[in-house]
A and B are shown apart, each in its own frame.
Chain A
Amino acid sequence: MNMLSEAAVEKALDKKMNEVAYKMIGKDVSVYYGEKRALFDVNLNVRENTVTALIGPSGCGKSTFLRTLNRMNDTIENCRVTGKITLDTDDIYDKEIDVVELRARVGMVFQKPNPFPKSIYENIAYGPKIHGLARGKADMDAIVEASLQRAGLWAEVKDRLHESGTGLSGGQQQRLCIARAVAVSPEVILMDEPCSALDPIATAKVEELIHELRANYTIVIVTHSMQQAARVSQRTAMFHLGQLVEENDTDKMFTNPDDQRTQDYIMGRFG
Chain B
Amino acid sequence: MTDAVSFPAGASAKPARRDIGIKRRYAAERRFRAYGIAALSFGILFLFILLYSVVSKGYTAFQQTMITIPVEFSEQIIDKDNERATDPSKLMTANYPVVARNALAKVLGVAENDRQGLRAVNQMISDGVRGQLRDMVTANPQIVGTTQTVSLLAAGDIDSAFKGQIDLTVSENNRKVSDQQVGWMNQLAESGALGKHFNTGIFVNGNSSRPEAAGVGVALIGSFYMMAIVLVLSLPIGVAASIYLEEFAPKNKFTDLIEVNINNLAAVPSIVYGLLGLAVFINFMGLPRSASLVGGLVLTLMTLPTIIIATRAALKAVPPSIRAAALGLGASKMQTIFHHVLPLAMPGILTGTIIGLAHALGETAPLLLIGMVAFVANYPTTPMDPSTALPVQIYMWANEAERAFVERTSGAIIILLLFLVVMNVGAILLRRRFERRW
Residues of A within 8 A of B (CB): 70, 72, 75, 77, 100-104, 107-110, 112, 114-117, 126-127, 130-131, 164, 166, 177, 180-181, 184
Contacts and interface: CB of A to CB of B under 8 A. Distances in A.
Given A77-B251, A130-B335, A166-B437, A116 B330 contact: no
Interface in B323-369: 323-332, 335, 339-340, 344
A130 B341 CA distance: 16
Given A112-B321, A114-B324, A166-B437, 14 more contacts: A75-B323, A75-B327, A77-B251, A100-B331, A100-B332, A103-B328, A103-B330, A104-B330, A117-B436, A117-B437, A126-B326, A127-B330, A130-B331, A164-B437
A127 B339 CA distance: 12
B438 interface: yes
10 contacts: A77-B251, A102-B330, A103-B329, A104-B330, A109-B328, A112-B321, A117-B437, A130-B330, A130-B335, A130-B339
A118 B344 CA distance: 11
Nearest to A74: B327
B322 interface: yes
Contacts of B438: 117, 166
B318 to A, nearest CB: 10
A108 B328 contact: yes
Nearest to B329: A127
Count chain B CB atoms within 10 A of each CB in A117, A127, A184 and give the residue with the most: A117
Contacts of A164: 437
A131 B319 CA distance: 24
A68 to B, nearest CB: 14
Contacts of A127: 329-330
Contacts of B339: 126, 130
A107 B321 contact: no
A116 B322 CA distance: 6
**Nearest 9 interchain pairs by C-beta:** A108-B328, A104-B330, A114-B321, A103-B330, A117-B436, A127-B329, A117-B438, A114-B325, A100-B330
A159 B233 CA distance: 45
Nearest to B333: A75
Nearest to B319: A114
Nearest to B323: A75
A199 B332 CA distance: 33
A163 B418 CA distance: 39
A77 B438 CA distance: 25
A109 B325 CA distance: 8
B331 A117 contact: no
A166 B324 CA distance: 16
A116 B323 CA distance: 9
A181 B328 contact: yes
Contacts of A116: 322, 325-326, 340
A181 B329 contact: yes
A117 B327 contact: no
B327 A184 contact: no
A166 B438 CA distance: 6
A184 B324 contact: no
A130 B332 CA distance: 9
A72 B328 contact: yes
B325 A177 contact: yes
Count chain A CB atoms within 10 A of each CB in B319, B326, B329, B332 and give the residue with the most: B329
